[in-house]
């Protein structure tokens, strides 16, 4: 402990003595997206939070970029206000966990609290917005190293599965992927399967406000949000989507054609069509907590990893002692000690 304190003090005094900045800067930007023009009522003008590393304004250097994708119910602004992502980046850079890097966080909080980073005929083309339009915008406006080897994509929960999808869909754009507790990667089991009460509860909810207020109706909210991305139906109000299961006359009925749509749009379902894209990635890692709040996450993460292994796709998969939200942004957490050093290793600076 004494050695760590002395090291931190020396680093601080060195930075002060030589006039080096120790704090990065947050820029709040906006981008109107043609990809996000939609009939579902979503705003196609999206807020983008950009972290510029210490010393950015005093040099002409170009930097790698990490695109960080937030989780369900969250947003880019909450990543700063509650997760203190900017302070985390300052600490990581000043302690040598990662060399100076730009971080980009797009706001993909929607009417039902999450885009799932998926193209939808109802809500907009969120995957294309992220992998094509956003990257082009950032490369044009900021001093980036505009090559795949210098771009990474990461995310937590919904954002973790989004990061994996970005790696599959845009392997020529991103070279490195890190997914923190990615959800939801695969089949409709556990919390959303035949034995789930979620489908019955959907019938009892009377308004969007009831769904999106707090966390009392979290699972029904997830189901509707995913459905608007995975199985949109403009002829089926009030949510304009088809459900994979329906609760009718005290029984659960499976809609197998809808289930198949969900499977094909899931990360596990996408693997077979993107084997070469996955092999093209320089590095891919996912991790999840041993005590995750929902069984669906560890089960589908393990299923995803095993399928990659069977196909000879190199990747890292790690279980740690933690749940879905702890051990992330703390000093002993995954972001500071695993995710950022991962990108320091695999991105080209």
pLDDT tens-digit readout, 256-312: 999 999 999 999 999 999 999 999 999 999 999 999 988 899 999 999 999 999 999
Is residue 35 situated within a structural domain?
yes
pLDDT tier, 8 (very low <50, low <70, confident <90, very high otherwise): low
Looking at the structure of the chain, the number of domains it has is 2
- Are residue 65 and residue 88 in the same domain, yes or no? yes
Q: Which of 205, 232, 258 is the last residue of a domain?
A: 258
The answer to whether position 135 is within a domain reads yes
* Same domain flag for 46 and 129: yes
Same domain, residue pair 84 and 176: yes
Residues 36 and 167 placed together within one structural domain of the fold: yes
Name the domain boundary from 258, 288, 310: 258
Residue 6 has pLDDT above 80, yes or no: no
Whether residues 194 and 288 share a domain: the answer is no
Give me the pLDDT at residue 160, please.
98
**Cis status of the peptide bond prior to 238, with omega within 30 of 0:** yes
Same domain, 254 and 275: no
> SS3 for 207?
coil
- Does one domain contain both 43 and 76? yes
State whether 35 and 151 are in the same domain. yes
Range list of H helices, the chain: 2-17, 76-81, 85-94, 126-128, 135-141, 158-169, 198-204, 208-212, 218-230, 256-265, 267-270, 275-280, 296-310, 334, 340-346
Last residue of a domain, one of 198, 228, 258: 258
Pairing of strands 25-32, 176-180: unpaired
Q: What is the mean pLDDT of residues 212-216?
A: 95
| pLDDT (0 to 100) of residue 294 | 85
Whether the predicted pLDDT of 17 surpasses 60: no
pLDDT tens for 173-199 read 999 999 999 998 997 776 787 788 898
Classified as helix, coil or strand, 203 is helix
- What pLDDT was estimated at residue 195? 80
Asked whether residue 13 is assigned to any structural domain, the reply reads no
Confidence of residue 151 (pLDDT cuts 50, 70, 90): very high
Q: Is residue 62 in a domain?
A: yes
- Residue 66, pLDDT score: 99
198 shares a domain with 162: no
200 and 157 both lie in a single domain: no
**What's the domain range around 223?**
190-258
Q: Are 278 and 308 in contact (CB under 8 A)?
A: yes
User: Percent of the chain, pLDDT > 70?
Assistant: 94
Least confident of 20-24, 146-150, 204-208, 335-339: 20-24
Q: Are residues 157 and 281 in the same domain?
A: yes
Backbone φ and ψ of 124, nearest 5°: 120, 170
Same domain, 180 and 233: no
> Tell me, what's the pLDDT at 20?
64
Q: CATH number, domain at 328?
A: 3.40.50.1820
Residue 337: inside a domain, yes or no? yes
- pLDDT above 90 for 11: no
On the question of pLDDT at 14 being above 50, the answer is no
């Amino acid at each position: 402990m004494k050695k760590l304190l002395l090291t931190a003090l020396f680093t601080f005094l060195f930075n002060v003595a030589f006039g080096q900045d120790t704090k990065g800067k947050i820029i709040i930007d906006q981008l109107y997206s043609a990809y996000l023009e939609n009939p579902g009522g979503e705003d196609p003008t999206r807020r983008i939070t950009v972290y510029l590393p210490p010393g950015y304004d005093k040099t002409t250097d170009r930097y790698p970029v990490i695109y960080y994708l937030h989780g369900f119910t969250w947003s880019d602004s909450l990543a700063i206000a509650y997760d203190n992502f900017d302070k985390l980046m300052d600490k990581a850079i000043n302690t040598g966990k990662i060399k100076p890097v730009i971080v980009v966080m797009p706001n993909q909080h929607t009417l039902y609290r999450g885009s799932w980073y998926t193209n939808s005929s109802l809500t907009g083309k969120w995957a294309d917005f992220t992998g094509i339009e956003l990257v082009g915008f950032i490369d044009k406006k900021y001093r980036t190293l505009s090559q795949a080897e210098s771009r990474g994509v990461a995310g937590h929960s919904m954002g973790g599965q989004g990061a994996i999808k970005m790696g599959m869909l845009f392997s020529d754009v991103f070279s490195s992927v890190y997914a923190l507790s990615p959800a939801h990667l695969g089949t409709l089991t556990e919390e959303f399967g035949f034995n789930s009460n979620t489908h019955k509860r959907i019938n009892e909810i009377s308004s969007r406000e009831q769904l999106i207020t707090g966390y009392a109706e979290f699972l029904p909210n997830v189901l509707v949000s995913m459905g608007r991305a995975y199985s949109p139906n403009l002829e089926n109000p009030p949510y304009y989507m088809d459900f994979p299961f329906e609760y009718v006359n005290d029984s659960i009925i499976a809609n197998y054609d809808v289930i198949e749509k969900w499977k094909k749009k899931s990360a596990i379902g996408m693997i077979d069509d993107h084997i070469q894209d996955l092999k093209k990635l320089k590095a891919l890692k996912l991790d999840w907590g041993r005590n995750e709040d929902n069984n669906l996450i560890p089960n589908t993460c393990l299923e995803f990893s095993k399928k990659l292994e069977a196909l000879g796709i190199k990747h890292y998969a790690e279980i740690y002692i933690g749940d879905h939200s702890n051990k992330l942004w703390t000093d002993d957490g995954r972001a500071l000690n695993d995710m950022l050093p991962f990108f320091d290793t695999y991105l080209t600076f």
